[in-house]
Amino acid sequence: MLKLLMLAAVAALLLLSEEGMAARTRSRTKRELAGPLHITGIRDPFGSYCQRRGGCCPGRNDQCTVPYLDTICYCDLFCNRTVSDCCPDFWSHCLGTNPPYPPSSCERNGQRFHSGATYKENCNLCTCGQNGRWECEDHACLIEDDMIQEINRRGYGWRAANYSQFWGMTLDEGLRYRLGTQRPSRTIMNMNEMQMNMNGNDNLPSNFNAVTKWPGKIHEPLDQGNCNASWAFSTAAVASDRISIQSMGHMTPQLSPQNLISCDKRHQDGCAGGRIDGAWWYLRRRGVVTEECYPFSAAQQTPAEVARCMMQTRAVGRGKRQATAHCPNSHSYHNDVYQSTPPYRLSSNENEIRKEIMDNGPVQAIMEVHEDFFVYKSGIYRHADVSYHRPSQYRKHATHSVRITGWGEESDYTGRTHKYWIGANSWGKNWGEDGYFRIARGVNECEIEAFVIGVWGRVTMEDMHNHHHHHGRRK
């Protein structure tokens, strides 16, 4: 015990003598050579130095110092007359005057910051200016708190919520990185619509969900992250469901969007956007493997890595193709290639779209995404122009593509019926209603009924037989 105390005392002495040495080396000569603190930059103008020291010294007193960051500063009157190595609070504490440098610092949450300091206010960077005021950028953010509150207060029939994955992004970034489907060209938009023989709409139920009709065959919404490639996600999702339904569950592949993103290069830009007609061309002529075989990794990759195609196929007759490369995922050996037939365009008629979904499975649709859609949480979405009074930078839209998996109707408290589509998005399962959303039906809301696509998987009896065994063996 005593020994310990003595050790501590020795240590304290050592520390003291070291401090004395340091003070001696910081002599007056150094003081005169050093640049004035207030010119090289006072980094702590509000700190307590002379005050903490317990006072100021008259005239010149080389011992009248206080540690200041990695050097020392003075609290004697001399410092003002010569090179001004005065402590930051010298003027206010010792002279009772304002310091000779401008108060270029800004206040935030009771703390002081220097000019040039920055912080991020949602999506906008704020910088402490020379005038002592924060200057913030003026971008529209993807998540605007007052928009969320306004939507929830006014009751548009849907609820809005904050999403941490969108927080801090600008609206422009959201539109540029979270969508990614080029609006079909006029020629494609004018593509013939399939003629359907409808006998009225007598046998169309008021509610229908593909997930209920085909359990285990409808794939869960994926998350495209900040990869601007809904063109690949919606196409792969619709093809996955259609192949599973058509093969009666003998094959239930979740097709790989990454395979399309990295390998479908004809007029396509991977995570910088693409076209759904091009995606369907690729699915038909080249085919893609499963998500398990070729997992989505664009979120963690550089554009050059994303652009490297890791899957190759070759023709094996009658248009069928076979993989000639191993899966990019070394844990997966199942590099079966899945293909589709040519896609077909449906009319914009609500009942024809319903019939198609009920008979053949989910369809693909383009959709104009407006600023408010990002904060959708639940309910029946209708574009709510809550930002109508704000500058145009707050009111923007761009083209997206989604999968429609069903429909329904719901009465509100006034007894009015609201019809909706069920859409599957590609923003992960924590967005919306478990990754899905409902949107007003029959009014071409956000152009959801303007360009609707159906497709057949390329499924032969042989495929069904083979895959059946395949699964059998794995068990």
Ligand X SMILES: *[C@@H]1O[C@H](CO)[C@@H](O)[C@H](O)[C@H]1NC(C)=O
Contact 166, 152 (CB under 8 A): no
Pseudo-torsion of CA 99, 102, 106, 112, nearest 10°?
-20
The residue annotated as part of the active site, out of 259, 400, 418, 465, is: 400
In the complex with ligand X, which residue's Cβ is closer, 183 or 334?
Answer: 183
List the structure tokens of 404: 């429609």
Quickly list H helices, 155-229. Answer: 171-177, 186-189, 210-213
In the complex with ligand X, which residue's Cβ is closer, 77 or 369?
Answer: 77
82 binds ligand X (CB under 6 A): no
CB of residue 376 to ligand X, shortest distance in Å: 15
Residue nearest to ligand X (CB): 273
Among 71, 130, 162, 444, binds ligand X (CB under 6 A): 162
Among 18, 145, 359, 434, binds ligand X (CB under 6 A): 145
In the complex with ligand X, which residue's Cβ is closer, 112 or 176?
Answer: 176
Residue 15: burial class (beta carbons within 10 Å; 0-12, 13-18, 19+) = exposed
CB of residue 62 to ligand X, shortest distance in Å: 17
In the complex with ligand X, which residue's Cβ is closer, 183 or 320?
Answer: 183
267 binds ligand X (CB under 6 A): no
DSSP per-residue string spanning 72-100: EEE-BTHHHHTT--B-TTHIIIII-S--S
Q: Which residues does residue 398 pair with via DSSP β-bridges, in sequence order?
A: 369
Quickly list H helices, 220-347. Answer: 230-246, 257-263, 276-285, 303-306
For residue 448, what are the contacts with CB-CB under 8 A and spacing of at least 6?
365, 366, 367, 402, 404, 421, 423, 439
Q: Quick one: which segment of 55-63, 268-276, 298-306, 346-354 binds ligand X (CB under 6 A)? A: 268-276
For residue 87, what are the contacts with CB-CB under 8 A and spacing of at least 6?
49, 50, 53, 66, 68, 73, 74, 75
430 binds ligand X (CB under 6 A): no
For residue 98, what are the contacts with CB-CB under 8 A and spacing of at least 6?
91, 92
Q: What distance in Å separates the CA atoms of residue 337 and residue 171, rounded to the nearest whole number?
A: 38
270 binds ligand X (CB under 6 A): no
Residue 228: burial class (beta carbons within 10 Å; 0-12, 13-18, 19+) = buried
In the complex with ligand X, which residue's Cβ is closer, 145 or 220?
Answer: 145
Which long-range contacts does 112-118 make (Cβ < 8 Å, 24+ apart)? 112/45, 112/46, 114/41, 114/43, 114/45
80 binds ligand X (CB under 6 A): yes
Q: What distance in Å separates the CA atoms of residue 356 and residue 241, rounded to the nearest whole number?
A: 13
Catalytic status, residue 400:
yes
Counting residues that bind ligand X (by CB under 6 A) gives 17
Q: Which of 440, 432, 453 is nearest to 340 (CA)?
A: 453
182 binds ligand X (CB under 6 A): yes
Q: What distance in Å separates the CA atoms of residue 392 and residue 394, rounded to the nearest whole number?
A: 5
CB of residue 231 to ligand X, shortest distance in Å: 7
176 binds ligand X (CB under 6 A): yes
In the complex with ligand X, which residue's Cβ is closer, 162 or 444?
Answer: 162
Q: Quick one: which segment of 29-37, 75-83, 218-226, 452-460 binds ligand X (CB under 6 A)? A: 75-83
Catalytic status, residue 425:
yes
Among 100, 205, 319, 342, binds ligand X (CB under 6 A): 100
List the structure tokens of 28: 């007056």
In the complex with ligand X, which residue's Cβ is closer, 57 or 293?
Answer: 57
Residues of span 210-249 touching ligand X by CB under 6 A: 228
The residue annotated as part of the active site, out of 228, 259, 335, 425, is: 425
CB of residue 80 to ligand X, shortest distance in Å: 4
273 binds ligand X (CB under 6 A): yes
Q: Quick one: which segment of 151-159, 217-225, 270-278, 407-415 binds ligand X (CB under 6 A)? A: 270-278
Interface ranges with ligand X (CB under 6 A): 77, 80-81, 95, 100, 145, 162, 164, 167, 176, 180-182, 228, 272-274
List the catalytic residues.
400, 425
